[in-house]
Amino acid sequence: MIWRRLMVAGMLIFAVLVVLGVVYRPDRAIRAATGSIADALCAKTFVSGLDPQASFAEIIERPGIRRLRFALGYRIDRTARTVDASVSGLFATHAVSHEGLGCVRVQGGKEPYLLKVDLEALKKPKTPPLLPEIAGPAVVEPSDPALKAALDHAFEEPSGPPFRRTKAVVVVRDGRVIAERYAPGVGIDTPLPSFSMTKSVVNALLGIMTQQGLTSPSLPAPVPEWHGANDPRRGIEVGHLMRMTSGLALDETDNPLNPSEQMFQHNDMARFVVNAPLIAEPGTRWAYSSATTQILARIIREAVGGPEQTLTYAWRELFDPLGMRNVTLAFDGSGTLQGANNMLASARDWARFGLLYLNDG
C-alpha cells in the first residue's frame, strides 16, 4: 500500500515537472543566455578584436546570465570565425562572424543570409562629411585637471562588484574632442558594441526616409500580417512603433522568455514578433520593447528594397555624411538589420552620431 502511494506521488511529481517544463520552457531561457554570450563574444572577438577570455569573464557577469556562470563555457574557431557557447556542453548556440557584417546565430543548422556587397567600395567616402573633423589622429589628452580626474574615475575599478569595465570615453565641446581615453586593447578606431544605441540609428534612418517621402510616423505600419479586414492591429502607425506605444504584447521584461529575448532564437526575428496580439489601443500604453524596433528594421528593409539596399542606404544617407568610418551593422538570418542592438562603432563615431542630435538633426 505504501509503495503504491509512493508510486502515485512520484508520478504526480513527474507530471507536474513535465507541465512546468512545457509552460516555462527552461530550455528556451537557457538558450537565451547562451545566445547572448555567443553573439557578444563573437562580436568582441572578431569585430572589436578584444581578448575573448577577458570578454567572456565580463559577459557572464551580466544580469540574467550570472546565475549560470558556474556551468557556462565557450569555444572559438578562429579559422571558421565562429563561437559556440553552452551550459556544460548543452543548449549550445552557434554564432558566425561574416567579415565586415557582424555576427549572426546559426539557427537549426540553416545557413544565415549573407549580404552580397563590396564593403570596401561601400565604406569609401563619397563626399566630404557634413560635420567638420572632430579630432586629429592622436588620442586627445585632457588639459583641464578636473576633466583628467573625471576620466581617472571613469576607468578606476572599485574593490568589488559592480565593476565599471569602461572601454572608452570621448568628451566633445563645441564640435571638437577635448578629452578621450581608452582601455587596454581599445583604440580610436575600435568598433565597440552599441547595445540599444542601435535603436537611435534605426530612428535616424526613419527620419531620413521621412524627409525623402519613403515613410512617415503618421502612416499605418506597412506590416502585411496586420492588414486583415478585422485585424485590430491595422491601426498601428509607424510612429507608435518608434515611440514603443504600439499596444502589442511585446513588453521587454527581466524574464528571458519575453519576446525581445526570444526573437533572437529565430532566423527571421521580425516575422516572429509581428505575430504578437494587441493588448491595448495603439498610442495609449508605453512599454519598452526591442521587439518593436525589430519590426521597424523590417519596414526599412522593405522600403529601400532589401538587405543589401539597407546597408547601402545606411552608409550613403547617414554614416558617410557624418564621417562615421568604423561602423559594423549586424543582420539576422533572414537578412534584416538587427535594429534593436548589435551595431558596433568606434567611440568617436558614436560622438559624431551624438552631434547629429545635438545639432537638431
Q: Do residues 168 and 202 share a domain?
A: no
Asked, for residue 316, whether it belongs to a domain, the answer is: yes
Res. 267: pLDDT tops 90 = yes
Q: Do residues 212 and 335 share a domain?
A: yes
Asked, for residue 240, whether it belongs to a domain, the answer is: yes
What average pLDDT does the segment 46-74 reach?
Answer: 91
Calpha distance 270→267 (Å, rounded) = 9
Res. 210: pLDDT tops 70 = yes
Q: Do residues 209 and 321 share a domain?
A: yes
Res. 18: pLDDT tops 90 = no
Q: Do residues 177 and 203 share a domain?
A: no
Asked, for residue 233, whether it belongs to a domain, the answer is: yes
Res. 249: pLDDT tops 60 = yes
> Tell me, what's the pLDDT at 361?
81
Q: What are phi and psi of 74, to 5 degrees?
A: -150, 160
Res. 141: pLDDT tops 80 = yes
Asked, for residue 354, whether it belongs to a domain, the answer is: no
Number of domain units in the chain:
3
What average pLDDT does the segment 234-251 reach?
Answer: 97
284 versus 69: the higher-pLDDT residue is: 284
Q: Do residues 218 and 330 share a domain?
A: yes
Q: Do residues 243 and 337 share a domain?
A: yes
Res. 235: pLDDT tops 70 = yes
> Tell me, what's the pLDDT at 22?
39
Nearest to 96 by CA among 44, 51, 39, 49: 39
Q: Do residues 201 and 337 share a domain?
A: yes
Q: Do residues 175 and 265 share a domain?
A: no
Asked, for residue 311, whether it belongs to a domain, the answer is: yes
What average pLDDT does the segment 303-330 reach?
Answer: 96
> Tell me, what's the pLDDT at 234?
96
| Cα atoms in the 13 Å half-sphere on the side-chain side of 196 | 8
The residue whose grid cell reads 571558421 is 80
Task: Return the bridge partners of 110, or none.
Answer: 107
Q: Do residues 178 and 201 share a domain?
A: no
pLDDT band for position 2 (cuts 50, 70, 90): low
Res. 172: pLDDT tops 50 = yes
Calpha distance 328→317 (Å, rounded) = 15
What average pLDDT does the segment 60-72 reach?
Answer: 86
Lowest mean pLDDT: which of 63-77, 84-98, 177-191? 63-77
Asked, for residue 113, whether it belongs to a domain, the answer is: no
Calpha distance 236→228 (Å, rounded) = 13
Calpha distance 146→23 (Å, rounded) = 55
Asked, for residue 355, whether it belongs to a domain, the answer is: no
Asked, for residue 268, whether it belongs to a domain, the answer is: yes
For the chain, percent of residues with pLDDT exceeding 90? 80
What average pLDDT does the segment 145-166 reach?
Answer: 92
> Tell me, what's the pLDDT at 1?
56
Q: Do residues 202 and 329 share a domain?
A: yes
What average pLDDT does the segment 18-40 reach?
Answer: 72
Neighbours of 279 (CB within 10 A): 13
Residues 6+ apart with CB under 8 A from 172: 134, 178, 351, 354, 355
Calpha distance 272→291 (Å, rounded) = 9
CATH classification at residue 334 = 3.40.710.10
Residue 169: is it exposed, middle or buried by C-beta count within 10 angstroms (0-12/13-18/19+)?
A: middle
> Tell me, what's the pLDDT at 219?
97
pLDDT band for position 161 (cuts 50, 70, 90): confident
pLDDT band for position 25 (cuts 50, 70, 90): low
Q: Do residues 283 and 237 share a domain?
A: yes
What average pLDDT does the segment 161-165 reach?
Answer: 87
Structural domain containing residue 280: 120-125+195-342
pLDDT band for position 285 (cuts 50, 70, 90): very high
> Tell me, what's the pLDDT at 13?
43
Res. 7: pLDDT tops 80 = no
Q: Do residues 336 and 285 share a domain?
A: yes
